[in-house]
Amino acid sequence: MKSHKRMLLGAVIAFATVLVLPFLLPLDHFIPEIERAASEQLKAPVKVDSLRLFFLPIPHLTVEGIAVGKTPFLEVEKVIITPRVTSLFSSQKVISEIRLQGVVIGQALIAKASAWATKSGGGGPATVRVERVEVRNAFVNLTDFKLRNIDIDLELTPESGLARAQVHADHNHLNATLVPRDKDFAVEITARDWKLPAGPPLLMSRLTASGTLKPLQGITFATIEGRLYDGTASGKLNIGWANEWTIAGNLDIRSVEIQPVVALFTKDTTISGRLTANPVVDMSAPSAAQLADAVDVESDFKVEKGILYNIDLSNAPKALLNKDALKGGQTRFDNFTGHLSVDPAGYYLSKVEITSGVLTADAEISISSKQELSGQIDVAIKGTSALVSTPLALSGTVQNPSLYPSKTALAGAAAGTALLGPGLGTTVGMKAARMTQKFFGGRPKKKKTEPAKVEATQQARDQAAADEKKQPAAAHTGR
């Protein structure tokens, strides 16, 4: 009995020692060397809070509190490194798994990523080989892009290059797969009931995209197919970061219910109907954070069978006598067509035509980045005495638009009424005023200085090229 008790006591002591040993081993003195080596490799300061060795349930090393960068752009709550025990006595040590938990990725990491990408792979078997890397509960926290609940599984080659990567985000609403193709990577993305993490939070009922990732250049999606708001979207998209950040591509949008989309930009319902559009995107900026200030979108559009809220255009003729005749109410239309331009200053709708059974209108409308309205709408109502359109000046905000007869229209109507009397005189006066507007202007102009700068720059380049062509001839003449 005594021998059995001694054996049991010895086993308990041994087990307790194994449990307590990680807290007794002096591993903290390795931390400065680890920080130095990691800082040299990553070209950024690296800090580590603790380092511990555990033997149960299988031997593994735990590193906690990792921060990369003076102002951390990469933080890791915990890293668990599990070696393959049978390889510890071999020339090549094998780590079966590296698991990272609680990862936070900041804006500055984007600039570092391309430089690190050039160091991936290897020229042969390494002294230490990693078989698998897992990332759990990561958070991408960029200036205009936030993606949560990210899990990543990386399968590595014997040379520690990437064999396959799988990414799951937003509780599996977004999934992606990367597979090496020579020096590039084939990318496949699928999503269901997923909101875009950048720009307006559009809800994608379904999304599939396939493309190619070039780590030092960018990613090209050759095909994009999606369903959103009972409609469809398809197209191509290019995102580059070689010399500067660029986003370029085109989409074909069909039969999208526009009301919930507009609700993402303004709290009040302003328009409903089915949208068809073909937006073309062409943006460039020195950094990813500056892309938001370089928005450049052009698109023809058509909205069918919809309603304009807070404005009743059918009362346009009455507005000459009652300036509040257009306030409130709504305008039903069959078609609302035009061209949309978007830049950092706001939105500009040109060549707008609105038609319904008894109403036709054309317009030029500007919406500032603060949702302030300006522009003009010309409205004609069938079956009224008005033989010409009624020019209306647009002001106010998207939520609270103001639409009144323009000063020119009021002046012309008053002059015509005074000369020829009400009715015909009013109409003739308005027509004369309208002709004056067409000759001398009166529509809002698109305030966009960038094209002028580009044009001036191009002229300067053309002049410089011409001067260079002249120089050899001049030199030859001098001889």
Q: Residue 426 CB: number of other CB atoms within 10 A?
A: 23
Asked, for residue 198, whether it belongs to a domain, the answer is: yes
What's the DSSP call for residue 219? E
Q: What is the DSSP letter of 317?
A: G
Helix, strand, coil fractions of the chain, as percent rounded to 5: 25, 50, 25
Shared-domain flag, residues 184 and 168: no
3-state secondary structure of 20: helix
Calpha distance 199→247 (Å, rounded): 13
* Residues 254 and 212 grouped into a single domain: yes
- The total number of structural domains in the chain stands at 2
- Is 62 inside a domain boundary? yes
In angstroms, the CA 436 to CA 415 distance is: 14
**Same-domain pairing of 145 and 228:** no
Question: What secondary structure, in 3-state letters, does 238-294 show?
Answer: EEECCCCEEEEEEEEEEEEEHHHHHCCCCCCCCEEEEEEECCEEEEEECCHHHHHHH
CA 452 from centroid of its chain's CA atoms? 26
Distance between CA atoms of 277 and 187, rounded to whole angstroms?
27
179 in Cβ contact with 153 (< 8 Å) = no
Q: Of 226, 259, 294, which residue sits at a domain end?
A: 294
In terms of domains, do 191 and 156 share one? no
Do 150 and 196 lie in one domain? The reply is: no
In terms of Cα–Cα distance, which of 308, 307, 313 is closest to 382?
313
In a domain, 67, yes or no: yes
Query: Which residues on neighbouring strands pair with residue 285, listed in sequence order?
Result: 245
Q: Phi and psi dihedrals of 433, rounded to 5? A: -65, -40
pLDDT values of the chain reduced to their tens digit, one per residue, 479 residues: 555 555 555 555 555 555 555 554 556 777 888 888 778 877 889 999 988 887 767 778 888 999 998 888 889 999 998 888 776 667 777 888 889 999 998 877 766 665 555 454 444 455 677 888 999 999 988 777 788 899 999 998 887 778 899 999 999 999 999 999 988 999 999 999 999 887 788 999 999 999 999 988 899 999 999 999 999 999 999 999 888 889 999 999 999 999 999 888 877 778 999 999 999 999 999 887 788 788 899 999 999 999 998 888 888 777 666 767 777 788 999 999 999 999 999 999 999 999 998 889 999 999 998 889 999 888 888 765 544 567 888 888 888 888 877 655 554 444 444 444 444 434 444 454 454 554 444 444 444 433 333 333 334 434 444 444 444 444 444 33
Q: Give 226: exposed, middle or buried? Use CB within 10 Å, 0-12, 13-18, 19+.
A: buried
**Residue 261 neighbours by CB distance under 10 Å:** 18
Range of the domain at 203: 179-294
Do residue 159 and residue 194 come from a single domain?
Answer: no
Residue 435 inside a domain? The answer is no
Residues 6+ apart with CB under 8 A from 44: 68, 69, 70, 73, 112
Give me the pLDDT at residue 122, please. Answer: 47
Q: How far apart are CA 466 and CA 460, in angstroms?
A: 10
Spatial distance between the Cα atoms of 430 and 408, rounded to a whole number of angstroms: 8
Q: Are residues 132 and 237 in the same domain?
A: no
| Residues 188 and 155 reside in one and the same domain | no
Q: Is residue 348 part of a domain?
A: no
Statement to judge: residues 161 and 201 lie in one domain: no
Count the neighbouring beta carbons within 10 Å of the beta carbon of residue 182: 5
Domain edge (last residue) among 172, 201, 218: 172
Name which of 316, 311, 306, 308 is nearest 382 in CA terms.
316
Identify whether 152 is part of a domain: yes
> Do residues 186 and 166 both lie within one domain?
no
Prior bond of 405 cis (ω within 30°): no
Given 272, 294, 316, which residue is the final one in a domain?
294
Contact of 359 with 313, CB cutoff 8 Å: yes
Q: Are residues 66 and 151 in the same domain?
A: yes
Pairing of strands 231-240, 203-214: unpaired
Residues 145, 58, single domain; the answer is: yes
* Domain-embedded: residue 31: no
DSSP string, 424-442: HHHHHHHHHHHHHHHHH--
Are 157 and 179 within 8 A, CB to CB?
Answer: no
CA distance 319 to 313: 10
Q: Assess if residue 33 is contained within a domain.
A: no
